[in-house]
Amino acid sequence: MANTRETLAIVLRMLRIGGAACDVSGGWAEELLGLREPWKHGDIDLVLQGNTFERVDELMTRLGGSVCEVPQKRFAHKRAFVFRQTLCEITRIGGDEMQPVTHYWGDVPFFWHPPLLHDKPVVLNGETITVLSAANLEKHRLHWQETQPHRWRDPRSLVMPLQVI
């Protein structure tokens, strides 16, 4: 199965049922809001509102073979996994509704516009989902380079999973 609306809906449902509900961002959010024409998506970008990735990490462990974590993308601000040959990346947004913030690499703040989400939920394959606001999609697209993307290649930026003894 390719990276389709159906794949996006399944991933969102899987995360929600697993206790790690996410909002859609990136290219899929732009398409769902009508900001760009439908196209072939390379990945699924999501955001998780909260202060930790605890639920996401637990869910990836529980799902085992259904998802495959991408350890090269395990950062303070991000988790990633592959589901049915589709890369899914989750960026964490903390703070509160008046000052949502992502701390890239744990130390580079990126402040999102409040409200974080589009004012109306979107229906996708019969389910209501939430999407980043157009203002936040534009802000992130314009300023992502300020989040120090060169650190993607620095192994010191990786967050190692807890080792069970």
pLDDT in tens, 51-97: 999 999 999 999 888 999 999 999 999 999 999 999 999 999 999 99
Asked if residue 160 is part of any domain, the answer here is: no
- Using one digit for the tens of pLDDT, what is the confidence trace for 1-38? 689 999 999 999 999 999 999 999 999 999 999 999 99
| 82 occurs within a structural domain | yes
Q: Whole-model pTM?
A: 0.95
In a domain, 156, yes or no: no
Residue 53 falls inside a structural domain: yes
Do the domain assignments include residue 154?
Answer: no
pLDDT band at 165 (very low <50, low <70, confident <90, very high): very low
Give the chain as a 3 state SS string: CCCCHHHHHHHHHHHHHCCCCCEECHHHHHHHCCCCCCCCCCEEEEEEECCCCHHHHHHHHHHHHHCEECHHHCECCEEEEEECCEEEEEEEEEEECCEEEEEECCCEEEECCCCCECCCCEEECCEEECEECHHHHHHHHHHHHHHCHHHHHCHHHCCCCCCCC
Number of domains in the chain: 1
The amino acid present at 141, given as its one-letter code, is R
User: Nearest to residue 13, comparing CAs of 59, 52, 49?
Assistant: 59
Range of the domain at 21: 5-148
The domain spanning residue 90 has which CATH number?
A: 3.30.460.40
Residue 126 lies in a domain: yes
